[in-house]
Structure 1
Amino acid sequence: MASEHHSPNWSRRRLLGSLLGIGVLAPFVAGDRTRSGDTFVLRYTAHIPNSHGLYTRVFLPWEEILTERTGGRIRWEHYVDRLLHGALDGFKAIESGITDYTHGYATYQPGSFHLTHGLQLPFLFSNPAVASLVSEELYPEYWKAEYERMGVYLAHCDTTTAYDIIARTPIRVPADIRGLKVRSTGGLMADIVRQVGARRDCGRGDLHGIPTGN
């Protein structure tokens, strides 16, 4: 377990964004990036393009607020468009020191974050805003220990809207999905796909190595 690192000059925590099936969580890890006088330069990385709403409507406004409230003492380097790592490698990028703040997807980690995966159960929340608030309220008591064992600390939760199924044939009643191949992540979401009689299709990330045999 990584602990907070205290250098002679300063200490800070790395930020990590973690997407659930229904939302994005953001934790911190110990480490240093760059310090110039009283200014700290941190690195933000993302697999999304710079035109994506998560970047333009979430991160950039948050960055402006942080810059204003710290009097410009915290500044950011931006690396988007999968420049430094892909969507599935957020946790590795944090642990290896590639980044200070990124998106990490708990839904792609079925072997970890067991309580967090419970948020993927259907019909729990009326809208994404409620889901985000509930997620952050639950974190200190129920999730904090598991995240901190991985050396990360929650910064915020950004919840997505419900997922849609896009199919070539109409799905009007639950029985219509039986036998269809449905792309899903692992863990709880894969269990739900199987329970409704569909077949889990491998994700795009699983397909990358097929043409080359890797």
Structure 2
Amino acid sequence: MKLTRVLKAAAIAAAALLPWAPTPGQAQEWRGWNIHAADYPNGRGMDRFGELVMQRTNNRIRMRTYHSAQLGQQDEAIQQMRLGSIDFANFNLSPFNNLAPSTQVVTLPFLFRNVEHMQRAIDGVAGEEIAKDLEQIGIIALAWYDAGARSLYTVRPVRTPADVRGMKIRVQTSDLWIDLMRAMGANPTPLPFGEVFTSLQSGVIDGAENNWPSYESTRHFEVARFYTTTEHSNVPEVLAVGVQRWRRLNEQERNILRDAARESAAFQRQLWAEREQVSRRRVEAAGVTVIEITDRSPWAQLMEPVYQKYTGNNPRLSGMVQRIRELP
């Protein structure tokens, strides 16, 4: 009898660890992760996604997004999605560079000519390849959000690559980003995003790099008063669902999620373009010096070692680069 009770208790405990599988028609409560504030274009895009899914499934799938990294930082959230404790999320692709090889391609510096070129690539050939790699690590890509062109902002003026030499520039925790900054001649300094303001203020770093809305919304412009439009990177972001949730959906539900994700992406991209203009006007009004780079070729020429290291010996990745460059 005692053994029977022990086995029964063990079975209950094991069942509790298994992914929850609702019965047909039963409501599902989904948890979503977002690093940005709720009113940021990405936050509003994710909320739109959730609303559309709930409407079109008659509330069988109820989505709640936890904004402002309430469920952890991005590296933690990626692991939680792979384990099944986060159901959907909006991720930057750079932290996937060491997990999904094709994400390295869209992270390569000076690859995209402009926003339209990036969107054609990620909605087509680049997105298809990245989606394959993400699925291999338990993440289903549904749509692609804009994240803006990233540029340098620093405590002293930067007009040419020579001006960056020796400067301590904050980068994301990624080998490719470290090599990118080294190619510029900078001293790359990986730091959590939340530490950038105080690190600029205290002199731990001399600058960072990001898009207009991030530069403005974090108030980094108060401690780094020079913004140089290198636009060295324009990495899209993914709106994704965990593979454990995905496998439990029927085809009709999957189509609902795909359509809702694409509609939310169109909405987010429009909001993003508007927000970029607003953010730039705000920092210029605050007295930031904007240094416009019209000829990026001197910067791009420094990146050949980066391309060689990350795609030179991989026909698949070098082929992706070529196809992206050939897009009209």
Please tell me whether the aligned partners of residues 40 and 74 of structure 1 are also in contact (alpha carbons under 8 angstroms). yes
Question: Which of the numbers 186, 189, 192 marks the counterpart of 1:201?
Answer: 189
Please tell me whether the aligned partners of residues 33 and 42 of structure 1 are also in contact (alpha carbons under 8 angstroms). no
Q: Could you say what secondary structure the match of 2:123 adopts?
A: helix
Matched length: 176
Whichever of the two has the greater Rg, that structure is 2
1:51-89 deviation per Cα after TM superposition (whole angstroms, max 9, x unaligned): 322112x11222223233334332112322322221222
Question: Which of the numbers 80, 85, 92 marks the counterpart of 2:72?
Answer: 85
Unaligned runs of at least 5 residues, structure 1 = 1-30, 208-214
Q: Per-residue deviation at 1:35?
A: 6.1
Which piece of structure 1 moves more, 79-88 or 123-132? Answer: 123-132
1:94 maps to 2:81? yes
Q: Distance in 2 between matches of 1:66 and 1:127?
A: 32
Question: Which of the numbers 178, 185, 205 marks the counterpart of 2:165?
Answer: 178
Q: Per-residue deviation at 1:182?
A: 0.9
Amino acid at match of 2:149: A
Aligned position for 1:44: 32
Q: Could you say what secondary structure the match of 1:192 adopts?
A: helix
Cα 1:50/1:164, change in 2 over 3 Å: same
Question: Which of the numbers 125, 130, 137 marks the counterpart of 2:124?
Answer: 137
Aligned position for 1:76: 63
TM-score by length of 1: 0.70
1:1-214 pair list within 5 angstroms: 31-32=19-20, 37-56=25-44, 58-138=45-125, 142-185=129-172, 186-204=174-192
Q: Distance in 1 between matches of 2:118 and 2:54?
A: 27
Cα 1:128/1:69, change in 2 over 3 Å: farther
* Overall identity of the aligned pairs, in %: 21
Amino acid at match of 2:192: R
Q: Could you say what secondary structure the match of 1:166 adopts?
A: strand
Q: Distance in 1 between matches of 2:158 and 2:100?
A: 32
Please tell me whether the aligned partners of residues 33 and 41 of structure 1 are also in contact (alpha carbons under 8 angstroms). no
Q: Per-residue deviation at 1:38?
A: 4.5
Unaligned runs of at least 5 residues, structure 2 = 1-18, 196-328
Please tell me whether the aligned partners of residues 102 and 133 of structure 2 are also in contact (alpha carbons under 8 angstroms). no
Q: Distance in 1 between matches of 2:109 and 2:82?
A: 32
Q: Per-residue deviation at 1:130?
A: 4.0
Q: Distance in 1 between matches of 2:109 and 2:185?
A: 16
Amino acid at match of 1:47: I
Cα 1:132/1:70, change in 2 over 3 Å: farther
Cα 1:129/1:89, change in 2 over 3 Å: farther
TM-score by length of 2: 0.47
Q: Distance in 1 between matches of 2:61 and 2:119?
A: 25
Q: Distance in 2 between matches of 1:151 and 1:134?
A: 23
Q: Distance in 1 between matches of 2:30 and 2:126?
A: 24
Which piece of structure 1 moves more, 176-185 or 46-55? Answer: 46-55
Which piece of structure 1 moves more, 145-154 or 103-112? Answer: 103-112
Q: Which has the higher helix share?
A: 2
RMSD value, Cα? 2.7
Cα 1:44/1:180, change in 2 over 3 Å: same
